[in-house]
Chain A
């Protein structure tokens, strides 16, 4: 991983308030990854101010990521409700069955973020983002060391 997080490519985009110099280069371009907005800009269908050249009167583009992450949102809501209900059951159940409910509750809380990483890993593999799929797999490996460390 390079120092600037852009995969070894030269970093040409300074964005923070301190370094807000205008630069037409986009970080993502160095990886040959076309994004929808890049295509929009190249076709120059955007209305611009005649004098300043600034984009005018343009509303927000639809956020397609929301739809894609809908499954993840539902999954996380269900696991939260599940953990909460198991917690309530743990408090109400007779003493002899309490520990089993507690183990399930902790297992749900451990599984929730790990399931999210697996989901991301599969998505990144599907779109050919091998580098970050590998990073996700390494992370799961590091988490798994928690099973053998005492």
Chain B
């Protein structure tokens, strides 16, 4: 299914996870198009991308939990739509032609590039009357608070849930079809549609892409589209690359890395359309 040498797959996964972590878009958005450019059929590249997404989500989870920035209730609510979309996308992805999948991937890579450039984020403000509030999510609601500094607490309340659910459905379909995490849709949707602080949105999005990936992997394994040996190489390289990226991320300028990632994604999408 995947004829590339194992060492090359480990190296590719390492580099894409490293760049993806530094750029804040995740490794799969770069990994899947590169695999397709190297001759892997999109139907088999997508499951490898999803394995990388699942490992990346798992690797980031302990740190986000420790920081208290994940809103589980928000993530679980939105994930109903995203998972339904992912199952549908993964099921349809096995039926459509490689050319259509390649072009879909090109469009998705271009959208991710645009998202990377436009990333601004709404800033929520700390409120003095909440300074004794315990940071985290508030039981029974899609509201919560997070700690901006030792004495500053930022409260927030998610809005426009139905609109956000529609955006999550779209991100799920794209994730299942193209084998990417979809965080580049989920994080801006939570931040700009629901007015959830970008830090909470990013952490919650990382939690949810792991669930989307699990649902897609169930479909892919049923379809026999997972190359386990290649998948192991992707996991090994991805976990190592993600760890190195997380360790050195703070010493690099995130905007510069994001711009580099954007340029690479634009080049890749153009090549995919031309060779598609």
Chain A interface residues (CB < 8 Å from chain B): 1-7, 11, 13, 15-18, 20, 22, 24, 26-28, 31, 33, 35-37, 40-41, 46, 54-55, 58-66, 69, 72-73, 76-77, 79-80, 83-84, 86-88, 90-91, 98-99, 101-103, 105-106, 109-110, 112-114, 116-117, 120, 127, 129, 131-132, 135-136, 138-139, 142-143, 145-147, 149-150
A4:B159 contact, CB within 8 angstroms: yes
A-B contact pairs, 19 of them (CB 8 A): A1-B161, A1-B162, A2-B161, A6-B157, A15-B155, A18-B122, A27-B138, A37-B132, A55-B131, A62-B134, A66-B66, A73-B65, A77-B62, A102-B226, A103-B228, A116-B61, A142-B83, A143-B83, A146-B217
- B58 CB to nearest chain A CB (Å): 5
User: Is B223 located at the chain interface by the 8 A CB criterion?
Assistant: yes
Mark B114-151 against chain A: 1 for CB-CB distance below 8 A, else 0.
00000000111101111111111011111100010011
* Minimum-distance CB pairs A-B, first 9: A102-B228, A146-B218, A5-B142, A90-B232, A87-B235, A87-B232, A113-B210, A27-B143, A109-B54
A16:B134 contact, CB within 8 angstroms: no
B55 / chain A contacts, CB cutoff of 8 Å: 80, 83-84, 109
B141:A5 contact, CB within 8 angstroms: yes
Cβ-closest chain B residue relative to A13: B157
B83 / chain A contacts, CB cutoff of 8 Å: 139, 142-143, 146
B226:A147 contact, CB within 8 angstroms: no
B232:A5 contact, CB within 8 angstroms: no
B236:A88 contact, CB within 8 angstroms: yes
